[in-house]
Amino acid sequence: MKRILLRSGKSPFDVIPVEEALHRDVIATNSGNLIFSDATHKILTTPDSEVFSNGMRTDIGAAGRINDEYDAFVVPLANAFRPSFEAALQRLTRLIGKLKIPVVVVGVGAQTGVTYDPARLKAMEPTVRAFCSAVLNHSASIGVRGEFTEQYLNDMGFKDVEVIGCPSMFLWGDTLTVEKRVPALNAQSRVAVNGSHTAVRGGGLHKIIARAHGQYPNLRYIGQNLTDAKQLHWRDVNSPAGRITEMPTHPDHPMYREDKARVYIDPVTWIDDLRDFDYSFGSRIHGNIAALLAGTPATVLAFDSRTLELCRYFEIPHRLLNEVPADLDPAVLYEEADFGPLTGNHKERFDRFTAFLDKNGLDNTFTHGDGGEAFETKLRSLSFPAGVRPWNDTGVASLTSRFGWLQQRITDLEGDNAQLKKDLARSKVLAKAAAAKAALPSPSIYRRARRAVGGPLKRALKPTK
């Protein structure tokens, strides 16, 4: 049995209560990460391959254990080539440099603006070069998100680069069905909207959301950030992002008060909920991919290269956010969206993706397994928490669940503090012992002293004639 280690926040089969998931940040600040890591987990699970989640933290000291226990390390990534991720990329590079097993990177991307100008990435080129070199020492090629990232790496001299998109789009294999269920959107249509803090605050998306909120009573905002989830569950606004009142996840926003915002910890519940919607739109690529996987039509309002290149590769209907009017009606986007190229060319893209896996020695469930049937059966046997919703009620049940978790955390922290005190006391004893030992003369000093004193003593005690 081949054992594959996967870089992911959690296994798809880990059922984690909301409070614990937020405390541990299993979504690695963005629940979209779990969309592509869960898809990769499913795709690589075959009768001859077992997949294990490694978590998102890079433990360089674990290299020896990874070499001993696993046959391959698979790293699904998103917009990893960006300045704010540089330190994490450097740690990952150091870990890969210590590994002796194959390392396969799927779906990595560079992030800049929609003009594809790589100038902001210039300073981190040495880090990107080191990472790609380390990966290619362990694999046949690097799988990237789209055209911009391919050109970015080609310009640095890397030719073993393949555009494969994002594994999230292949959750169902070579088939993707997306159809308009209604001829046109109306006031009663169920519409989902999504957007990053940057797009809302700096891209003007808040104006589009506000207009849609007034026009569509069944509008729902779906956030993805850890900040969004903490606002919904804890009413926590204690961060710069948390204080953006234009976000529908902020307690002061009308959509919060009307229970029209959600954040999902598990992709399975996210996708399931979107099956009941007529349409999804916004600047979040994986927020809209979740809709497409649910069979729900979606349009991306691209705000940067990471969203734009994926839309172009997969032929997802999209517009540039900076080119749409503030009074945009999603009904217009719905009417103009054509999903024929997206679904019609999906198999060709899937074949390209599985050929990449084959080249890098990885089987997939659709070619070498049961098509993911066992994976889905196991997933459906579990009961995952519902999407995180605004904390508007003060009922006993709502308070009990939250206060119960807080009380348990206090108990855990008391235990942790007691152990820390013991460890600190022991370290002080050891430090004193080490200091005392360091203060003692070395054995060589004693020997030199004996020799220095011994000669004169012997001469002084020598009998006189």
> Does residue 74 or residue 439 have the better pLDDT?
74
pTM (2 decimals)?
0.88
Q: Quick one: average pLDDT of 98-117? A: 97
Q: Quick one: average pLDDT of 115-120? A: 96
What amino acid is encoded at 41 in this protein?
Answer: H
Q: Are strands 2-6 and 72-76 parallel, antiparallel or unpaired?
A: parallel
Residue (of 344, 351, 98, 301) closest to 193 by Cα position: 301
* DSSP assignment of 22-83: HHHTTTTTBTHHHHHHHHHHHHH-BTTEEEEE--SS--GGGHHHHHHH-SEEEEE-SS-BSG
Let me know: does 1 contact 48? Beta carbons within 8 Å. yes
Q: Check whether 443 has a pLDDT greater than 70.
A: no
Backbone angles phi, psi at 238, to 5 degrees: -85, 60
CA dist 301 to 42, 158, 308, 323, Å? 29, 31, 9, 9
| Per-residue model confidence as pLDDT tens digits over 279-325 | 999 999 999 999 999 999 999 999 999 999 999 999 999 999 999 99
Give the confidence band of 267 by pLDDT, cuts at 50, 70, 90.
Answer: very high
- Quick one: tokens of 388? 């995180």
| Per-residue model confidence as pLDDT tens digits over 187-241 | 999 999 999 999 998 899 999 999 999 999 999 999 999 999 999 999 999 999 9
- Quick one: tokens of 163? 């555009």
Q: Quick one: average pLDDT of 34-48? A: 98
In angstroms, the first-to-last Cα distance of the chain is 91
What amino acid is encoded at 237 in this protein?
Answer: V
* Nearest-angstrom CA–CA distance, 303 and 319: 9
What's the confidence (pLDDT) of residue 362? 98
228: Cβ–Cβ under 8 A, 6 or more apart, which residues? Answer: 247, 249, 261, 263
Q: Quick one: average pLDDT of 389-418? A: 80
Q: Are strands 191-194 and 72-76 parallel, antiparallel or unpaired?
A: unpaired
Q: Calculate what percentage of the chain has a pLDDT beyond 70.
A: 94
What's the confidence (pLDDT) of residue 431? 79
Q: Does domain 191-342 have CATH number 1.10.357?
A: no
Residue with tokens 């030992």: 437
What's the confidence (pLDDT) of residue 445? 57
Residue with tokens 């579990």: 382
Backbone angles phi, psi at 136, to 5 degrees: -70, -15
Residue with tokens 């959301």: 209
What's the confidence (pLDDT) of residue 344? 98
Q: Give, as one character, the DSSP assignment of residue 463.
A: P
- Quick one: tokens of 87? 């330190």
What's the confidence (pLDDT) of residue 427? 81
| Per-residue model confidence as pLDDT tens digits over 48-64 | 999 999 988 889 999 99
Q: Which of 150-154, 400-404, 450-454 comes out lowest in average pLDDT?
A: 450-454
Residue (of 56, 35, 61, 43) closest to 4 by Cα position: 43
* Buried/exposed code over 430-441 (b: 16+ C-beta within 10 A; e: otherwise): eeeeeeeeeeee
What's the confidence (pLDDT) of residue 442? 61
- Quick one: tokens of 226? 């850890």
What's the confidence (pLDDT) of residue 396? 78
Q: Quick one: average pLDDT of 41-50? A: 98
Backbone angles phi, psi at 263, to 5 degrees: -140, 135
87: Cβ–Cβ under 8 A, 6 or more apart, which residues? Answer: none
Where on the phi/psi map is residue 374: left (φ > 0), alpha (ψ -120 to 50), or beta?
A: alpha
**Average pLDDT over all residues of the chain:** 93
What's the confidence (pLDDT) of residue 131? 98
| Per-residue model confidence as pLDDT tens digits over 316-367 | 999 999 999 999 999 999 999 999 999 999 999 999 999 999 999 999 999 9
- Quick one: tokens of 269? 């519940």
Give the confidence band of 452 by pLDDT, cuts at 50, 70, 90.
Answer: low
Across-strand partners of 328?
none
What's the confidence (pLDDT) of residue 450? 58
